[in-house]
Amino acid sequence: MPELLYLELALLGLCSGFLAGLLGVGGGMVLVPFLTYFLGRQGLSADLAVKMAIATAMATIVFTSLSSLRAHHRRGAVRWEIVRSLAPGIATGALLASLGVFALLRGKSLALFFGLFIGFTALRMLRSGSRPGTMRALPGAAGLFGVGSALGFISGLVGAGGAFISVPFMTRRGVAMHQAVGTSAALGLPIAIVNAAGLVFTGSGDPGRPAYSLGYLWLPALLAIACCSVLTAPLGARAAHRLPVAQLKRIFAMLLFTLAGYMLWKGWSAGS
């Protein structure tokens, strides 16, 4: 691969790691559009590029989550009882996504779903705080299993760590914002491990993959992004306790709108 591409991937890893630590979101949501672009430059079809971008982004979250998790845990910001309650559902939903639905969907459909979903997430970010939400207690075991299943399933289809669901869910149920962000970092780990393992298996027989691929994982990108993202995730976690995160979320939402537009265009052009 060209040296310039390694530098671009390293910069992408630094940015995504910082955003993951700062906001509890941003890893996969930022990585997927850029990886789709980089893979397209390597001559891959739009359909395969989208699938490999989602899978590779998911695998990088394993490393980003570990780094961010350690930083949040040191500050006592991880609610481990919530993590333990959601984990069984997360594993179930992730397996259903990575071993079942992901293999059946075309890259065009995944790109369109990704674009619509992060556009919706950006809209939620802009509207957060515009009106007070009703506080409710956390649901029981069955409810948490259902939430975990949805979290693992949707995250597997968009290559993200799931904080776009878990953070709003927890804050609306009385969990402090900094604890919701820290807990979402811990939840990202089982989401990423189960989905990445499933996508290695699912993509093993797909033709047209570039050199140094493991299933749908693009290993050069995984290595470059993982090595850099773990450096900046703790910095983002530290900044989350000092900076006006609400304002930063509005800025990040505008970036997500741009990336959503790119993925919608990519999905539309893949079928034309």
Q: What is the pLDDT along the chain (272 residues), one digit of tens a residue?
A: 677 888 999 999 898 888 777 776 556 778 888 999 999 888 898 889 989 999 999 898 888 788 778 878 888 889 999 999 999 999 999 999 888 888 778 778 888 888 888 888 788 777 765 544 556 788 888 899 999 999 999 888 887 877 778 888 888 888 887 888 889 888 988 998 999 999 999 888 888 898 889 999 999 999 999 889 888 878 887 787 777 767 777 777 787 788 888 888 877 876 55
Q: At what angle do helices 107-127 and 27-41 cross, to 10 degrees?
A: 140
Query: CA 183 to CA 139: how far, in whole Å?
Result: 17
Query: CA 159 to CA 53: how far, in whole Å?
Result: 8
How many domains does the chain divide into? 1
| Token pair 């891959």 in the structure block, residue | 44
Burial class (CB in 10 A: 0-12, 13-18, 19+), 101: middle
- Judge whether 53 and 270 are in contact, CB under 8 Å: no
pLDDT at 24: 62
The four Cα atoms 143, 102, 28, 94 give a dihedral, to 10 degrees, of 30
CA distances from 200 to 113, 163, 184 (A): 21, 23, 24
pLDDT at 205: 82
- 0.95 exceeded by pTM: no
Q: Would you call 25 helix, strand, or coil by DSSP?
A: coil
pLDDT at 25: 59
pLDDT at 271: 57
Query: CA 52 to CA 241: how far, in whole Å?
Result: 34
Q: Residue 65's Cα: distance from chain center in Å?
A: 10
Q: Residue 165's Cα: distance from chain center in Å?
A: 11
Domain that holds residue 48: 3-270
pLDDT at 193: 92
